[in-house]
Structure 1
Amino acid sequence: MVGKRNVTTFRKLWKIISRDNCTYYTDDWSVYSEVIPRHQHVVGKQHTLSIESNNSNTRHRIARMTRKTKVVSKSEEVVDLTIKLWLHFEDNNNFLDSVVMRFVV
């Protein structure tokens, strides 16, 4: 989802990701409480540590996901392709296959 970090953009994202049978663990950003139903919403850092760790790893591995960097792409297509490529190589089998193919050829 591309847009400003505000309630309007989050409402658009919520329409895409929301599920009735899920609990959503977030930090205390006020927009979450405005959009996520109270019975599905749990606020607290203790529940978001693994999510933040994953986000940190993503930003570390893909510079264009880091704010205030020279390699940020404003093209939604390029960002989408970058994430797909990163997810592909997060699977160790895909990574090993590509490394082995490089040495075989």
Structure 2
Amino acid sequence: MGCRGRRTARKLWRRLPSAYRQAWCYTDLWEAYTGVVPRRQHLAGYGRGTTNHIERFNATLRARIGRLVRKSLSFSRSQKLLDASIKLFLHDYNATKHPR
């Protein structure tokens, strides 16, 4: 959660598990990623099919969590409630898609 600036990108990068920070990172051409993701593992661009999985998941989030689409139809009274609703969705999504 947050703006798409370099500061938020750094915060996200620090919070990733170390194994994820060693993997290839496929991103769009947003400027904030260039100073955060190491060049040797960063592939940015469109049209190569590299970001299709995450874009598909983003579409799933918007389709199933109305709060992410329009503030006038569904909204959270606070950032804490929005975070909680997304965490609940992710928990349910992971439990039903990838049961143990």
- TM-score range (shorter-chain normalised) is 0.7 to 0.9
Higher relative contact order (CA 8 A, sep 6+): 2
In the TM superposition, what are the counterparts of 1:24-103 in structure 2 within 5 Å?
24-45=25-46, 46-66=49-69, 68-70=70-72, 71-73=74-76, 75-90=78-93, 91-92=95-96
Instruction: Say what the alpha-carbon RMSD is for the aligned residues.
Output: 2.1
Q: Which runs of 5+ in 1 are unaligned?
A: 94-105
Deviation at 1:89, TM superposition (A): 3.1
Following TM superposition, where does structure 1 have runs of at least 4 consecutive aligned residues deviating by more than 3 angstroms?
Answer: none
Q: Which runs of 5+ in 2 are unaligned?
A: none
Q: Alignment identity in percent?
A: 38
**Paired positions, count:** 91
SS of residue paired to 1:25: strand
TM-score of the aligned structures, taking structure 1 as reference length: 0.72
TM-score of the aligned structures, taking structure 2 as reference length: 0.75
Which structure would you say has the larger Rg? 1
Structure with more of its chain in helix, by fraction:
1
